[in-house]
Structure 1
Amino acid sequence: MEHCIQTLLTGGEEVEIIIVDDGSTRDRTPEIADEYARKYPTICKAVHQENGGHGEAVNAGLRNATGIFFKVVDSDDWVNEEAYAKVLETLRRFVYCGENLDMLVSNFVYEKEGAKRKKVMSYHTAFPKDKVFGWSDVKFFMKGQYILMHSVIYRTALLLQCGLQLPKHTFYVDNIFVYQPLPHVKHMYYLDVNFYRYYIGREDQSVNEKVMIGRIDQQLLVTKLMLGYYDVTKIANRKLRHYMVQYLEIMMTISSVLAIKSGTDENLEKKKELWQYLKKQNLPLYLRLRTGFLGQGCNLPGKGGRKLLIAGYKITQKFYGFN
């Protein structure tokens, strides 16, 4: 966490660093937060609260934010200082010129434990560079290319206006953080710099596959919440609609794969229930996802079908470098 904060401090007085102690009792998080608040009183703010999980920590940050823009940086991640300077320069330009900006997107790097080659998630195929654009100007999203919490900076007022409230004691809410505000976003900007460094590879990390299987109920909850925020089949802008449908498709796929990889009848039943929930909730969306390539793969019959899906998942996993 201290390394994370140190990289953020290079932003100087223009940046407000809100350090949320989410009921930590097993380490020095509360003391470290207070130390930085004392040492940098005009930059750092320490917030202490009862444990509410990752989502409530983000909620607390948003409640206490006074800045024009808002970004979540997890405590085991950090930012590249050279790219950080360019991000701040870009945001500063929008503020001083009085030009509207709802969302800034930059690249992030998978800092995977033990990996020799660092996978960079960039968006040059999807977004025009160095200009303000809207959803109609979006180009092409490749498979596996999504806007994640690591890549996005939102206008603070937009997050408040859209009523963003992440559920307590739930992992994987970063998907909600990125997804729910999207229909409210009108003005975007893509800065092609490798800003955020996303550390993965610890065995106890929430995105570790075994941990995800153990928390499959939380993955299913987040997926169901996302399915209920909007009827995405009725979103007017074609490109925004297509992107949000694709996002839900990958959420359904991940939930299905985790259920299958768990190898338990209980979780296979939960997978079946999830697809039935979607069918009841939104039949047009169900038909669209169920008949798509991933939807068909998630519902291949028998053990042979499930083995084929897992094989495809492993190839994708190796190619994109996640988990």
Structure 2
Amino acid sequence: MNPYENQKTITFVVPCYNSAEYMDHCITSLLTGSSDVEIIIVDDGSTKDATAEKADEWQAAHPDLIKVIHQENKGHGGAVMAGLRAATGVYLAVIDSDDWLDRDALSLMLSKLRRFIDSGSPVDLVIANYVYEHTYTGTRKVIRYNGAMPKNRVFTWNETGFFGPGQNILMHATIYRTQVLRDSGLELPEHTFYVDNIFVYVPLPYVKTLYYLPVDLYRYFIGRDDQSVNESVQIRRLDQQMRVTRIMVEAVKLPDGAGNLKLAAYMTGYLGLIVAASSIFCLLAGTPEALAQRRQMWEHIDATDRQLKVKLGFFQPLVLAANLPGRIGRTVSLALYRTAQKLYRFS
């Protein structure tokens, strides 16, 4: 008897906070998965619009597919954790309420997931391409994992290649086996943005098998002024960025905690990206308090793992570029950031 036969193929967790204007597009795209999907809409204390009412309407229209959780505001991390606790699908993905999934890519993905489940040994992490949709400019950028992972077959960390610039495994690319997330002890802080970095980082040592399906599944909307990736918003939330960085530094003792040297190298590189981003946003803020936060970040890394400080500070090009010493060095670091921003269109 297959232990998964009575479970939905996948749970989609949709955190919603005052998102009545755009949540319908997101949910409609998920419903194309039909009876394979469970959709958990988490109304995270919305008060400024009809998000709560819309969520209940969706549940009433599709009671076999959609569940609604109403909770007091806990932030993105609190909403994701509520969805994870309630999920019954074999797999789980988080879909932000202003994003959506491509219908054809979702059909291919669900077919693949069903095949894994029918085998009785579903893979731990499935990865797909995602697309930055710069809606206001009408442009898009597809993030693919060519060269970093084998395509269309099950593989292990030992078979991964070099992860190039922009090829980090972000939340938009991941479909985790739900039990892997639970076994990892994942906990996301409440009232904190950027917890998606914790979501994709902490469970990685529990992932033993992977599969890369090279379809453009997740469509990531970029363009709203209040969006968390908007630069001015990121500067205002610098304390939250630093909180996420601190949690990630403490989460896994590298390399031993990763359990695999190639995975440890990837995790060190990913952590380096987060540390570099934290440094840059301190520089963008430019206040004495922000520069003090940057110094405290490095003091914390040193106190947690001195070897990690050396690996990040001397062997990670992004970290080096974001932490050039002195006033001139800070100016050069910001110039390099602006160049990368234009090249990769990440905000």
Identity of aligned residues (%): 49
Letter in structure 2 aligned against 1:108: Y
User: What's the secondary structure of 2:70's corresponding residue?
Assistant: strand
Residue 16 of structure 2 corresponds to which residue in structure 1?
A: none
- Regions of 4+ moved over 2 Å: 113-117, 233-236, 292-299
Contact map agreement 1:233 1:284 (CA 8 A) in 2: no
Letter in structure 1 aligned against 2:95: V
**Selected match of 1:276 from 280, 283, 299:** 299
Residue 308 of structure 1 corresponds to which residue in structure 2?
A: 332
The Cα of 1:236 is off from its aligned counterpart by: 3.9
The Cα of 1:82 is off from its aligned counterpart by: 0.5
2:136, 2:344 → 1: CA distance? Answer: 15
1:45-60 map, 5 Å: 45-60=67-82
1:145, 1:315 → 2: CA distance? Answer: 18
1:291-302 map, 5 Å: 291-292=314-315, 293-302=317-326
Q: TM-score, normalised by structure 1?
A: 0.98
293-302 vs 92-101, which deviates more? 293-302
Residue 157 of structure 2 corresponds to which residue in structure 1?
A: 135
Residue 144 of structure 1 corresponds to which residue in structure 2?
A: 166
2:259, 2:101 → 1: CA distance? Answer: 36
Contact map agreement 1:113 1:202 (CA 8 A) in 2: no
Residues 236, 185 of structure 1: alpha-carbon distance in 2 compared, 3 angstrom cutoff: closer
Q: What do residues 61-85 of structure 1 show as CA deviations (whole Å, max 9, x unaligned)? A: 1111111000000000000000000
The answer on 1:181 being equivalent to 2:174 is no
**Selected match of 1:9 from 31, 38, 49:** 31
The Cα of 1:240 is off from its aligned counterpart by: 0.1
1:62, 1:296 → 2: CA distance? Answer: 36
1:1-323 map, 5 Å: 1-234=23-256, 235-292=258-315, 293-323=317-347
289-298 vs 75-84, which deviates more? 289-298
The Cα of 1:123 is off from its aligned counterpart by: 0.7
1:36, 1:9 → 2: CA distance? Answer: 10
- Listed as ranges, the gaps of 5+ residues in structure 2 are 1-22
Letter in structure 2 aligned against 1:322: F
Q: What do residues 215-246 of structure 1 show as CA deviations (whole Å, max 9, x unaligned)? A: 00000000000000111132341210110000
The Cα of 1:113 is off from its aligned counterpart by: 3.1
Residues 236, 47 of structure 1: alpha-carbon distance in 2 compared, 3 angstrom cutoff: closer
The Cα of 1:86 is off from its aligned counterpart by: 0.4
Letter in structure 2 aligned against 1:186: K
The Cα of 1:109 is off from its aligned counterpart by: 0.2
Letter in structure 2 aligned against 1:220: M
1:82, 1:251 → 2: CA distance? Answer: 33
Give the superposed CA RMSD. 1.0
Letter in structure 2 aligned against 1:268: L
The Cα of 1:283 is off from its aligned counterpart by: 0.3
Letter in structure 2 aligned against 1:289: L
2:193, 2:134 → 1: CA distance? Answer: 20
The Cα of 1:301 is off from its aligned counterpart by: 2.2
User: What's the secondary structure of 1:232's corresponding residue?
Assistant: coil
Contact map agreement 2:255 2:261 (CA 8 A) in 1: no
The Cα of 1:307 is off from its aligned counterpart by: 1.0
Contact map agreement 1:13 1:43 (CA 8 A) in 2: yes
User: What's the secondary structure of 1:322's corresponding residue?
Assistant: coil
Letter in structure 2 aligned against 1:315: T
- Listed as ranges, the gaps of 5+ residues in structure 1 are none
Q: What do residues 126-156 of structure 1 show as CA deviations (whole Å, max 9, x unaligned)? A: 1101100010010110022100000000011
Contact map agreement 2:273 2:319 (CA 8 A) in 1: no
The Cα of 1:48 is off from its aligned counterpart by: 0.5
Aligned residues: 323
User: What's the secondary structure of 1:255's corresponding residue?
Assistant: helix
Letter in structure 2 aligned against 1:310: L
1:47, 1:116 → 2: CA distance? Answer: 34
Letter in structure 2 aligned against 1:64: A
Contact map agreement 2:133 2:139 (CA 8 A) in 1: no
235-244 vs 74-83, which deviates more? 235-244
1:113, 1:256 → 2: CA distance? Answer: 29
